[in-house]
Amino acid sequence: MGRDIQAIKITGEDRRKYRDKVRRSLDAFARMLREQRFDDNPSMVGQEIELNLVDARGMPSMRNAEALAAIADPAWATEVGQFNLEINVPPRQLGGDEFDGLEQEVRADLNAADGKARTIGSHLVMIGILPTLAETDVHEEAMSANERYRVLNEQIFAARGEDMEIAIDGSEQLLTHCDTIMPEAACTSVQLHLQVSPDAFANYWNAAQAIAGVQVALAANSPFLFGRQLWQETRITLFEQATDTRPDELKEQGVRPRVWFGERWITSVFDLFEENLRYFPALLPICEEEDPLAVLDREGIPQLTEMSLHNGTIYRWNRPVYGVVDGTPHLRVENRVLPAGPTIADVMANAAFYYGLVRTLAEARRPVWTAMSFSTAAENLHEAARYGLDAHLYWPGVGETPAAELILRRLLPLAREGLSRLDVSPAHADRLLGIVEQRCLTGQTGAAWQVATVAELSRRDGLDRGEALRQMTQRYIEHMHTNEPVHTWSVGLGPG
């Protein structure tokens, strides 16, 4: 889905051929499901972590190409903005002490990369939206030098036919217009991958959808955008708006957005890929030579490149992924709702909560989605993005309840049960879920800490908003490097 492409001129014939090829890929995919061609290993997990680059003052650093050259590791790649990087964490199984090993490995990789980035005057920061980012930083010249992003930008605006409006009404208000997709680059996330069998896919995807709001409430880390205090997890609404190909007229007609929660619980992974073809025009209509049905006839495994590329331009909050490793196809749920940061310890705690909870819910005798409307799950996501742990979320058997109370009383025990089923060491499960518990008890998410620290710097030191954000960002980076979970951070001060 991060595939590089060459500069191209897209014609009407390209679009027709691509649509036909996606249909043929979908036919091949359906046949593979019927013939049970997939890897059945349900416990492989992986992560992608997006980060920002800043200079010594905490301001955006437009030097990702130089940083990548210094890091010189194929696990690292560009993202949309020149102030973004991404690391792909190799997949693994989670049993035993693997969470501890994963945490140590990711910390070592990030520390090594940060050390190399410092040689070119940049620093890495994991945060949902970089607080010091200004509107003047998100223009076309700040886009990464990857032709994929430029073609995607052209196609989105060709489909839209007018400038993008970003309108967010939160603690403060933001209304602005842009003529590129670059505001999307402000959004940096952690994506959690979970490999599942085809038969179990629908249950795991439905479970992930049901808890998306809870995840966002727990992990909120994006309260500031362009100097304004907006939602606790502003990244959710910003990403939805910054990639919207629909002018108002198409919205009124019910055309689906590219960043999509969905509209129904599913019964098969095929439902999602079929919706992709039915509802969404191609943005990158690039065809390969492979004939997927002919490959199947020869007892081979097709790459289904067109189906996967199309899927990669539809930004579901929980996205289906088809992959082939060592000649064996598999399916993954890619969970995309979480912001990056604040620390690796927090990231691992969020991951443990997700993997454990989704395992228990997916295997429940009475699935939670049979007692919750799909629209309620979508409403939970946006309520959580607005208010974080102060959000009131609906949950079957509980009704509307504060997010922190829901997590503490109902969902943490289920997450613990799921981690036990995954054979995660009880000691590691206790430590990571203990971070979740303390975050709920203290109410201090990354977003809450950022807001409180900016308020304290403004009150105590008389700083204007811009300088308070800059100093807060520097303190945030200092805390991030301690790997002490965010619920322990002092407000307004660096680490003790």
R_g of the chain, CA atoms, integer Å: 22
- Burial class (CB within 10 angstroms; exposed 0-12, middle 13-18, buried 19+) of 340: buried
Question: How does residue 3 score in pLDDT terms, banded at 50, 70 and 90?
Answer: very low
Mean pLDDT of 72-95: 94
For 449-473, the pLDDT digits (tens) are 999 999 999 999 999 999 999 999 9
Answer yes or no: are the C-beta atoms of 203 and 188 closer than 8 Å: no
Residue 315: band (very low, low, confident or very high) from pLDDT cuts 50, 70, 90: very high
Average pLDDT for residues 395-414, to the nearest whole number?
97
What pLDDT is attached to residue 286? 87
Give the residue-averaged pLDDT of 308-337.
96
Determine phi and psi for 176, rounding to 5 degrees.
Answer: -150, 165
Residue 161: predicted pLDDT: 86
* The pairing of beta strand 44-54 with beta strand 189-196: antiparallel
Tell how far CA 61 is from the center of its chain.
22
- Global pTM value: 0.95
For residue 342, the one-letter residue type is P
DSSP bridge partners of 402:
392
pLDDT of residue 12: 79
pLDDT of residue 322: 97
Identify the pLDDT of residue 9.
Answer: 67
According to the model, what pLDDT value does residue 86 have?
97
Q: Is the pLDDT of residue 289 over 90?
A: yes
Q: Residue 285: what pLDDT?
A: 87
How many degrees, rounded to 5, is the angle at CA 185 between CA 181 and CA 190?
Answer: 130
Across 381-392, average pLDDT: 98
Whether 7 has a pLDDT exceeding 70, the answer reads: no
Dump pLDDT digits (tens) for 180-195: 999 999 999 999 999 9
Residue with the larger pLDDT of the pair 149 and 214: 214
Q: Is the pLDDT of residue 237 over 50?
A: yes
Average pLDDT, the chain: 94
**What pLDDT does residue 404 have?**
98
pLDDT on residue 462: 95
Look at residue 2 in the predicted model and tell me its pLDDT.
47
Q: Average the pLDDT over 125-135 and give the result.
A: 98
Mean pLDDT for 426-440 is 97
pLDDT > 90? residue 202: yes
- Predicted confidence at residue 1, as pLDDT, reads 38
pLDDT at 5: 46
pLDDT-derived band at 53 (thresholds 50, 70, 90) equals very high
In terms of phi and psi (left: phi > 0; alpha: psi -120 to 50; beta: otherwise), the region of 123 is beta
Locate 423 and state its tokens: 């054979």
What is the model's pLDDT at position 339? 98
Confidence check: pLDDT of 443 > 50: yes
Query: With 60 as the cut, is the pLDDT of residue 347 above it?
Result: yes
For residues 27-50, give the mean pLDDT.
91
Determine the pLDDT at residue 265: 98
pLDDT digits (tens, 9 = 90+) for 465-495: 999 999 999 999 999 999 999 999 999 666 7
pLDDT for 236 equals: 98
Summarize pLDDT for 151-176 with one digit per residue, the tens.
888 888 888 888 999 999 999 999 99
Phi, psi (deg, nearest 5) at residue 69: -60, -40
Dist CA 174 CA 164 (whole Å): 13
| Residue 162: C-alpha distances to residues 30, 154, 187, 440 (Å) | 38, 12, 22, 43
* pLDDT at position 4: 47
Across 196-202, average pLDDT: 96
Per-residue pLDDT, averaged over 304-331, amounts to: 95
Which of 34-48, 149-163, 196-210: highest mean pLDDT? 196-210
Report the pLDDT value the prediction gives residue 42, as an integer from 0 to 100.
64
Mean pLDDT over 18-24 rounds to 94
